[in-house]
Amino acid sequence: MSATPVPQLGDFKAYIASIDTFILDCDGVIWQADKLIPGVKETLQALKQAGKRVVFLTNNSSKSRAMYVAKFTSLGLDVSVNDIFGSSFAAADYLRQIKFDKKAYVLGAQGLLDELTSVGVQYVGGYKEDTVNPWTSIDQGYVEDNPEIGAVVVGFDPAINYFKLARAYTYIQQPGCLFIATNHDSTFPAKGGRLLPGTGTIVSALEVAHGSNALVMGKPSHFMLDCVKTAIGYDPARTVMVGDRYKHPFCFFGIMCRFCYILLTSNNPSLLHACCSLDTDIQFGLNGNLHTLLVLTGVTSLETLQSTSNAIRPEFYTPSFADLHAGLRGD
């Protein structure tokens, strides 16, 4: 039995009238690499003038919220830090909530380090971590247990190497050590319409080695969902998630079930057997019973979206988020 095609959004005016809160992905929705998608600035301005709440979600862990404010500003967009929710922020906030009091070993860029610092988490590692000849260092016992490490936090690390993976793997095996990932995205959009390997490729290497899944903090986890809802108090029936991703490989449970989330936020998160890695914008919206709108300015093509093999389907699609400006103009 073939799946019903995802309908293209047509009546923009009526649709916008039915929505109070817009939760927007960034890469592929607002911008492509460092270039603002045409018409997006005017659409955002019109939404705010119409009294709509607009917040931004991103699984990109390389930037902190403060760094994202700077990027928005550089693109001519006025966005408050309180309206930005990133996977690095989510990971740091999780450690704050569980009153984490040990050190974290970090595979990640400056944005993740900044977010950890902002909540008082001490760390070692990071993208500037000194490395030496891996074969010599392993022979010399470089990869040794460290009882001060209570968590391995994995984000996008542009300087990843075998050496860092070996160190992270060693720490993950320590009793009680948390294995946390900012996200599980397999790719991310880069300049020229290219896709490059994402954080998920780093996380997966450690998952294969250790035989267990990381606790994923970013979309589509319920942790990120509750993080946003606590901050802005949206009504799911009048909220839409707008993104460019809808499908990733399933984890053990297929999606982030409530059982996973209860274990994730319990006092003993090590009980979690499998965390969910269906790291997508649309699944995030479905998990929260939100409206879902997919745009085609990111990683998903129309042909891919309408494939009959897709089990995850948005409510509507539109070529660009800027299309909504027509409804705001009354067209």
SS3 143: coil
CB atoms within 10 A of CB 309: 8
Report whether 219 belongs to an annotated binding site. yes
224 backbone dihedrals φ, ψ, rounded to 5°: -65, -40
Query: In the structure encoding, which two tokens stand for residue 244, read together?
Result: 């460019």
Catalytic residue flag (residue 27): yes
CA-nearest of 19, 37, 92 to 61 is: 92
Cα-based angle 189, 194, 198 (whole degrees, multiple of 5): 45
Report whether 83 belongs to an annotated binding site. no
Question: Catalytic: which of 11, 20, 27, 139?
Answer: 27
Q: How far apart are CA 73 and CA 295, in angstroms?
A: 23
SS3 203: helix
- Share of the chain residues as helix, strand and coil, in percent rounded to the nearest 5: 40, 20, 45
Burial 53-69 (b: 16+ CB within 10 A, else e): bbbbbbbbbbbbbebbb
Q: Residue 191 in contact with residue 33, Cβ under 8 Å?
A: yes
Burial 3-12 (b: 16+ CB within 10 A, else e): eeebeebeeb
**Dihedral angle, C-alpha 28, 34, 35, 39, nearest 10 °:** 60
Question: Catalytic: which of 20, 25, 78, 157?
Answer: 25
Q: Residue 189 in contact with residue 142, Cβ under 8 Å?
A: no
Catalytic residue flag (residue 226): no
Binding residue numbers for substrate: 219
Binding residue numbers: 25, 27, 219, 244
Residues that are catalytic: 25, 27
